[in-house]
A and B are shown apart, each in its own frame.
Chain A
Amino acid sequence: MFKTTSLKTIVVAGITAFLLLAVVPARADDVAVKIGNFTFGPQDLKVKAGTTVTWTNEDDIPHTIVSANNFRSKPLDSDDRFSFTFTTPGTYRYFCSLHPHMTGTIVVEAATGSIAPPP
């Protein structure tokens, strides 16, 4: 079958690729986390690899988003945002380095749907 690639197969593949290109970059996968009342909401999140997560501080006090060895935001004053794109599957625990009782987790699944071991 692979040796006798028909025009039809190429066309189907082309259409599929076009559809993927059209679908994957869609913003539907990007996720927002709100920081309010000294909590991350949602606190635990599951996303597909490639997802960009954006945290917005809605408190009247600064917060940070820190995940050891992965990412560290600047202090976010009220209404400030921080974004991180998760490309590698795994479990990312993070916290606010000013108020360490504030914790959250992002589980990043491979784009195919299975969860890879932590990075």
Chain B
Amino acid sequence: MTDRNDGLNRRKVLECMTWAGTGVLWTVAGGVPTSLGIIDEAVAAEQKGFTFLQISDSHMGFDKPANPNAKGTLEEAIGRVKALPERPSFMIHTGDISHLSKPSEFDDAERIISQARLDVHYVPGEHDLLDEEQGKLYRERYGRGSKGAGWYSFDADGVHFIGLVNVVDLKAGGLGNLGNEQLEWLEDDVKGRSASQPIVVFAHIPLWTVYPQWGWGTEDGARALGYLKKFGSVTVLNGHIHQVMQKVEGNVTFHTARSTAFPQPSPGSAPSPGPMKVPDDKLRTMLGIASVTFKQNEQRLAIIDTPLQG
């Protein structure tokens, strides 16, 4: 991704930027015939933009000093979602739903998250695959219609969403891992799509290298991003590191969301990435949710991180 020449040229990017805002893009990408009347309707429908939410790292079952009440803070987060003035289209959850993959933890998550009354698209975190059969429980509950360890894609409002799993078959000394089977599926999944269709990729561990000393990155993430080079607008949403971090590289925006359970230290600022105990009155400023909006005339999605407090 560092080689700009491999990416889109300036003219192409500008083309995409224009398209992304008009609503024409959504129509074309959705495969709807390009009749003018239909396009106009689409433009009208997209004027306000389209918003979805990201929540992450609920860690149901976590009860350590960093937050003895992870259930309570997830409830607060869902309370925030319910109170939003504009109802989002749906929600994505970027993994670590549970702390130890126990059925009761998944039950608690389901009971609380369902109160938002939104469709939720999940990908697993490493904490969700800790049952005896390494993910059977997760796949039974959340994996319907998914491939392999739980990856899938779908379209919404003309945007192509891709949920990836990078927490399976991790190698000693390595980082997150997508694996060949999933990467081949991804290559096939985006093949033939218009370069002007906005892409949203979501996975648990950051697909970009945040801090390899703490395992914060994905071994073969660059290969995944390579398949997305032709697209004018790519947004990569992750969790795992329990803090907001953003990077823009060419046409790709990388963003990580806060946890609803406990904060983790910024890279290298502590001896380990373990749960960070902060003063009680600070905790809720470090937990939260993210809302992502496609807005008119903007290539990049508007991402707003909202803490539970402050």
Contacts and interface: CB of A to CB of B under 8 A. Distances in A.
Interface residues of B, number: 24
Interface residues of A, number: 20
B274 A75 contact: no
Contacts of B64: 60, 78
A93 B64 CA distance: 30
A30 interface: no
A12 interface: no
Interface string A40-62: 00000000000000000001111
A59 B272 contact: yes
Nearest to B177: A100
B66 A60 contact: yes
Contact of B274 (A60, A68, A101, A103): A60
B215 A103 contact: no
Interface in B191-214: 212-214
Nearest to A102: B215
B33 interface: no
Contacts of A93: 172
Interface string B218-257: 0000000000000000000000000000000000000000
B21 to A, nearest CB: 42
A101 B213 contact: yes
Contacts of B8: none
Contact of A77 (B100, B170, B171, B273): B100
Contacts of A61: 274-275
Interface string B166-184: 0000111111000000000
A69 to B, nearest CB: 13
Interface string A62-103: 100000100000010110000000000000011101111101
Given A95-B173, A100-B170, A101-B215, A39 B127 contact: no
B130 A62 contact: yes
In terms of DSSP, what is the predominant structure of the interface of chain B?
A: loop
Contacts of B275: 60-61
Given A37-B271, A60-B65, A100 B171 contact: yes
A100 B175 contact: yes
Given A60-B64, A61-B274, A61-B275, A95 B127 contact: no
A99 B125 CA distance: 12
A100 B172 contact: yes
B173 A75 contact: no
A75 B125 CA distance: 14
A75 B128 CA distance: 11
A103 to B, nearest CB: 5
Contacts of B172: 68, 93-95, 100, 103
A38 B173 contact: no
A98 B240 CA distance: 11
B105 interface: no
A94 B171 CA distance: 10
B130 A75 contact: yes
B127 A101 contact: no
B274 to A, nearest CB: 5
Contacts of B258: none
Contacts of B274: 37-38, 59-61
28 contacts: A37-B272, A38-B214, A38-B274, A59-B272, A60-B64, A60-B65, A60-B66, A60-B275, A61-B274, A61-B275, A62-B100, A68-B172, A75-B100, A75-B101, A77-B100, A78-B64, A93-B172, A94-B172, A95-B172, A97-B126, A98-B130, A98-B170, A100-B170, A100-B172, A100-B175, A101-B212, A101-B215, A103-B173
Given A68-B172, A99-B126, A99-B215, 4 more contacts: A37-B271, A62-B99, A100-B215, A103-B173
Interface of A: 37-39, 59-62, 68, 75, 77-78, 93-95, 97-101, 103
For the complex of A and B, 6 pairs with smallest distance between CB atoms:
A95-B172, A37-B272, A101-B215, A38-B272, A60-B64, A100-B170
